[in-house]
A and B are shown apart, each in its own frame.
Chain A
Amino acid sequence: MRNALSSPHHTSTFDRLWLAESLRLLEEQQGPLDDQAVLAHLQQQGNHRPKDLILQRAAAEGARLKLDHAQQRWRLLQRLGSPLLALLALLSGGLLSASLLGDGSQPVNIFVVLLGLGGLASLTLVLWLGGMLLRQSSSVLGRLWLDVQRLSLGDGNAAWLARGYAALLSRGHLLRWQLGLISHSFWLLHLTGALLGLVLLLSVRRYGFIWESTLLPAESFITLTQPIGMAAALLNLPQPDLGQIAASDQWQRHDAALQQAWAGWLLAALLLYVWLPRLIGVIVCALHYQRRQRRLDIDLSLPGYATLANRLQHRSLGVLDAEHPHTSTRATHAAPSAGSGQWLVGLELADDEPWPLSHAEGWRDGGVLRQRQHSAALLQGWQAQPPQHLLLVCDARQTPDRGLERWLESLANAAAQPALLLLHAEHSPRLALWQQLNWPHPRFEHWAQAHAWTQSA
């Protein structure tokens, strides 16, 4: 894992994106991977761009699932397979030429050769073009090649790579260009093989070209031949004139110029109308592919990546100023043993709280204190004459804090019998906090309890 993390650059950007995409699909369908170890490691490295973090995580997790090996296998297959495929294409082209031309002992129908070598190639090109216009990727060859690669991965984890590959390419809108590139390249090589074979055979053997048909009238050949012949004119190759075309409905065995004219016509037509479009196809696909491949990136608005970016982002700066627990020593005051009178004092009550309390006849009103310093006057007075009963009144809806606790304590220490009355206890979700308060004296939630307390004493 460490290796994968520390040197994520040994693979190409595309491969890293591919791995990330495969894992994204895997996690989308099968739930998240357990990446805690990787996460911890990434977090130690500090702050990084979210996209880099996602790629690094993918590299580490991919290595754990052995997807990197599968990726290498895929690449190896590609490296071994593509020359083989290229060879196959070249050979098949050459063989096709040879079989169409024969050994020269028979006349050769020029249109059969033209159709045989260029027909299927042109038809598939037109189909491909149509597919592109309909924004469909209709490249049988390309698909087959992908399928073969996919089979090489087998099932299990590595199968997700095949999905990831196709998903990444289609997300970047380059799947069709890649499929196109594969099939155009194949056809281009096939046609090159065919043309080479043709040139070779035409240079070492003499063939006699004719046109013949049972169904079609002669004029149609003548009208067809001329526009196709424009290719030869463009390339400055010989082509049959009208008379020669007309004469070619029979085998003119000894007319060398005629056969040369047909050969030039055939080569030019194949080169310009069949081979060249494929070459253009290869170039266009390759350019598009490259341009779009460079734009491939982690798309953070995809659910999987968005979640990851959020999760991988290292936010914490840690605890900076830790707590040093210390035992606070409570000063124990000797409370006055006896006092006189009953006092009622409100602490930190809101100003819309009715005061004095409604049942408080017979109590001396200490007022509502909202500021700690304001209790100084009361305390001073009580030094001479401490209260017997001191009822401190608080609002149970508020949060008791350390400051209040100290305040309560300082007041309680001044009375013989202090107690706490909590207002609104019945609607306070924070009552429990008041019950946990460090208050060793009686605590009431109703006025009646406070009343009973003064009576009993």
Chain B
Amino acid sequence: MNTTALRLAVVGHSNTGKTSLLRTLLRDRDFGQVADRAGTTRHVEGARLSIDGATALELFDTPGLEDPSGLRDYLDLLCPSSERLDGPARIERFLASSEASRRYEQEAKVLRQLSHSDAGLYVIDARDPVLGKHQDELALLSDCAKPLLPVLNFSAASHNRAAAWADALARAGLHAYVPFDTVAPAEGGEAQLYASLALLISHGKAALTRLTEHLAEQRQQRQHAGIRCIAELLLNSAALRHSVPSANAAAALSELQNTLREREQHCVRNLLQLYGFHPDDALPDHLPLNAGRWGDDLFHPETLKQLGIKVGGGMAAGAASGVGIDLLFGGMTLGAAALLGAVAGGGLQTARNYGKRLIGKLKGHAELTVDDNLLRLLAARGLWLLAALDTRGHAATEALQGQTPTAPWPDALPKPLRQARAHPQWCAWQEQATDEERQRAVSELAAVLHDSRQA
């Protein structure tokens, strides 16, 4: 493997989204500072992308070029055309000049960094009109004699001027460019960016291909991890059994509901963290999620209705509580059957669990379980959030379009969840829940969720 990583400078006019692009490429929403004004970034800051601990790509954020027209005039002053200096020589002379650390300090940092890099990503706000300053900017950058890949940011915005930009870039000799929206990167947008880059830097081709593959792999891992989060939540909820004296069932209901709210919240937090977001990051508008919390209460009948979960008349009351009361048969029959299983091989823990439940039964306790519809609701919301996170870049703030999903499994719960109903010891909130059968069920459920995601 070659030891020196590719170095990429991210350059462009100020406030075009350079730092945002870096955040998205690095999947690090804490990188640098982002604000909607000129001159947010005032230094060069680097970060790397690694594959298994080896640096594959070094990316450098630079300040915006704020006064390219002034600088170009100054360069003409420094290097009279009679001297016929070439681009890099002109840049060198400028970097050694007095204004490089005064009026044009910011611009000097950009040109210096680009000169020390293998290539530059030239970030454009595609909504901006093409102006003289941009042409001056392109002239300055091309003086550095490094490959430049224009990146049309905000290409998803409705009034963009991508066509005018393509024309202007072609006039500057830049014929390849990539559209890229840092807030909602298109599927495969990142791969396209690296592929276009590989065409410009021939010695970086292998490294960039490997990086693209690695990123795809990581994305899959993240998806799997996200789905597992949801699968665990569902399985634990399905296995949950809350034994209470029949008389106190109503009071215990709200306690159980709170547990579920908390657990769902926990899952949301995990998903956000998995995708590198903070709970207070702005998330797509259509997700009723505020500061990392779902706005709609889990147990409000309206929430069920929104996700297309039909609740029959007689069941409405139970469904609204989200909890079924398992008075006799469910718990007892399952209990007795599984008790035998426990004695055969479940170990002390399981036997103790069943013992407790049998005693509870004899004392006339009721067992609270989580309703089917609630499980479907949890699944729908989890998958919804996951899908939104999966397509969201690590930049900014604007709302995304999207529609409310419908809840999965209208007819019957998938097998692993039905199994979980009969295995209270699978509920990791109450028990050890480490046996292989449970892990198998989680994997199966994850596969089911994966399929219903695709559907």
Residues of A near any B CB (own CB < 8 A): 25, 28-29, 31, 47-50, 52, 127, 131, 135-140, 143-144, 146-147, 162-163, 166-167, 170-171, 173, 175-176, 300-303, 305-307, 310-311, 313, 315-324, 326, 328, 348-351, 370-374, 398-403, 406-407, 429-430, 433
B45, B55, B345: which contacts A137 (Cβ < 8 A)?
A: B345
B residues 313-370 in Cβ contact with A at 8 Å? 344-349
Distance in Å from the Cβ of B165 to the closest Cβ of chain A? 12
Given the known interface contacts A49-B53, A306-B221, A430-B36, the answer about A402 and B102 at a Cβ–Cβ threshold of 8 Å is no
Contact between chains at B66 and A402 (CB < 8 Å): yes
A138, A175, A306, A403: which contacts B69 (Cβ < 8 A)?
A: A403
CB neighbours (8 Å) of A348 from chain B are: 129, 131, 133
> When each residue 93-111 of chain B gets 1 if its CB lies under 8 Å from chain A and 0 otherwise, what string results?
0000000011101100100
Contact between chains at B432 and A401 (CB < 8 Å): no
Cα of A301 to Cα of B231 in the assembled complex, Å: 13
Q: Is B49 an interface residue (CB 8 A)?
A: yes
Contact between chains at B439 and A433 (CB < 8 Å): no
Distance in Å from the Cβ of B146 to the closest Cβ of chain A? 17
B residues 216-257 in Cβ contact with A at 8 Å? 220-222, 224-226, 228-229, 232
Contact between chains at A301 and B436 (CB < 8 Å): no
Q: Is B170 an interface residue (CB 8 A)?
A: no
Given the known interface contacts A47-B53, A315-B26, A402-B67, the answer about A306 and B225 at a Cβ–Cβ threshold of 8 Å is yes
Given the known interface contacts A147-B347, A306-B221, the answer about A374 and B39 at a Cβ–Cβ threshold of 8 Å is no
Contact between chains at B347 and A307 (CB < 8 Å): no
Distance in Å from the Cβ of B270 to the closest Cβ of chain A? 6
> When each residue 125-159 of chain B gets 1 if its CB lies under 8 Å from chain A and 0 otherwise, what string results?
00011011101100000000000000000000000
In the complex, the 6 A-B pairs of residues with the closest C-beta atoms, listed nearest first: A371-B132, A317-B46, A138-B345, A403-B67, A350-B129, A372-B69
Q: Which of A25, A162, A399 has the most CB of B within 10 A?
A: A399
Contact between chains at A429 and B36 (CB < 8 Å): yes
Q: Is B411 an interface residue (CB 8 A)?
A: no
Cα of A450 to Cα of B66 in the assembled complex, Å: 28
Cα of A317 to Cα of B61 in the assembled complex, Å: 11
CB neighbours (8 Å) of B38 from chain A are: 399-402, 433
Contact between chains at B228 and A321 (CB < 8 Å): no
CB neighbours (8 Å) of B50 from chain A are: 47, 313, 315
Contact between chains at A316 and B46 (CB < 8 Å): yes
| Closest chain B residue to A349, Cβ basis | B129
B36, B39, B54, B60: which contacts A401 (Cβ < 8 A)?
A: B39
Q: A372-B133, A403-B67, A403-B69 are in contact. List 13 more A-B contacts (CB 8 A).
A: A47-B50, A49-B52, A140-B344, A143-B348, A147-B348, A170-B436, A305-B225, A315-B26, A318-B45, A320-B45, A326-B105, A370-B129, A400-B38
Contact between chains at B224 and A307 (CB < 8 Å): no
CB neighbours (8 Å) of A430 from chain B are: 36-37
CB neighbours (8 Å) of A403 from chain B are: 66-70, 133
CB neighbours (8 Å) of A324 from chain B are: 101, 105
Contact between chains at B105 and A29 (CB < 8 Å): no
Contact between chains at A143 and B345 (CB < 8 Å): yes
| Closest chain A residue to B128, Cβ basis | A398
Q: Is B373 an interface residue (CB 8 A)?
A: no
B28, B60, B69, B135: which contacts A315 (Cβ < 8 A)?
A: B28
Cα of A407 to Cα of B132 in the assembled complex, Å: 12
Distance in Å from the Cβ of A65 to the closest Cβ of chain B? 19
Contact between chains at A401 and B46 (CB < 8 Å): no
Q: Is B293 an interface residue (CB 8 A)?
A: no
Contact between chains at B434 and A167 (CB < 8 Å): yes
Cα of A53 to Cα of B52 in the assembled complex, Å: 11
CB neighbours (8 Å) of B166 from chain A are: none
Q: Is B19 an interface residue (CB 8 A)?
A: no
Interface size on B, residues (CB 8 A): 78
| Closest chain A residue to B41, Cβ basis | A323
Q: Is B414 an interface residue (CB 8 A)?
A: no
Contact between chains at B434 and A166 (CB < 8 Å): yes
Cα of A349 to Cα of B13 in the assembled complex, Å: 17
Contact between chains at B437 and A135 (CB < 8 Å): yes
Contact between chains at B225 and A307 (CB < 8 Å): yes
Contact between chains at B436 and A175 (CB < 8 Å): yes
Given the known interface contacts A136-B437, A302-B225, A302-B228, the answer about A371 and B47 at a Cβ–Cβ threshold of 8 Å is no
> When each residue 21-37 of chain B gets 1 if its CB lies under 8 Å from chain A and 0 otherwise, what string results?
00000111001000011
CB neighbours (8 Å) of A305 from chain B are: 225
Contact between chains at B274 and A144 (CB < 8 Å): no
Contact between chains at A401 and B132 (CB < 8 Å): no
Cα of A25 to Cα of B236 in the assembled complex, Å: 14
Contact between chains at A306 and B434 (CB < 8 Å): no
Given the known interface contacts A47-B48, A317-B46, A321-B113, the answer about A303 and B225 at a Cβ–Cβ threshold of 8 Å is yes
Contact between chains at B44 and A320 (CB < 8 Å): yes
Q: Is B261 an interface residue (CB 8 A)?
A: no
Cα of A372 to Cα of B58 in the assembled complex, Å: 35
> When each residue 63-84 of chain B gets 1 if its CB lies under 8 Å from chain A and 0 otherwise, what string results?
0101111100100000000000
14 cross-chain CB contacts under 8 A: A31-B266, A131-B344, A143-B346, A147-B347, A310-B274, A310-B276, A319-B45, A323-B42, A328-B103, A370-B132, A372-B69, A373-B73, A401-B38, A401-B64
B39, B136, B439: which contacts A170 (Cβ < 8 A)?
A: B439
CB neighbours (8 Å) of A135 from chain B are: 436-437, 440
A49, A300, A401: which contacts B221 (Cβ < 8 A)?
A: A300
Given the known interface contacts A137-B435, A399-B37, A401-B13, the answer about A307 and B47 at a Cβ–Cβ threshold of 8 Å is no
CB neighbours (8 Å) of B439 from chain A are: 167, 170-171
| Closest chain A residue to B341, Cβ basis | A136
| Closest chain B residue to A164, Cβ basis | B434
Contact between chains at B225 and A321 (CB < 8 Å): no
CB neighbours (8 Å) of B55 from chain A are: 47
A176, A306, A328, A433: which contacts B37 (Cβ < 8 A)?
A: A433
| Closest chain A residue to B104, Cβ basis | A402
CB neighbours (8 Å) of A146 from chain B are: 347
Distance in Å from the Cβ of B130 to the closest Cβ of chain A? 8
Contact between chains at B43 and A322 (CB < 8 Å): yes
Q: Is B112 an interface residue (CB 8 A)?
A: yes
Contact between chains at B345 and A131 (CB < 8 Å): yes
Cα of A47 to Cα of B48 in the assembled complex, Å: 10
Q: Is B391 an interface residue (CB 8 A)?
A: no
| Closest chain A residue to B135, Cβ basis | A371
Contact between chains at B349 and A147 (CB < 8 Å): yes
Cα of A129 to Cα of B263 in the assembled complex, Å: 39
> When each residue 417-455 of chain B gets 1 if its CB lies under 8 Å from chain A and 0 otherwise, what string results?
000000000001100101111011000000000000000
Contact between chains at B43 and A323 (CB < 8 Å): yes
CB neighbours (8 Å) of B67 from chain A are: 401-403, 406
Distance in Å from the Cβ of B397 to the closest Cβ of chain A? 11
> When each residue 254-296 of chain B gets 1 if its CB lies under 8 Å from chain A and 0 otherwise, what string results?
0000000000001000100110100000000000000000000
Distance in Å from the Cβ of B368 to the closest Cβ of chain A? 20
Contact between chains at A170 and B228 (CB < 8 Å): no
Q: Which of B39, B50, B345 has the most CB of A within 10 A?
A: B345
CB neighbours (8 Å) of B436 from chain A are: 135, 137, 170, 173, 175-176
CB neighbours (8 Å) of B26 from chain A are: 315
CB neighbours (8 Å) of A372 from chain B are: 69-70, 73, 132-133, 136
Distance in Å from the Cβ of A308 to the closest Cβ of chain B? 10
Contact between chains at B429 and A371 (CB < 8 Å): no
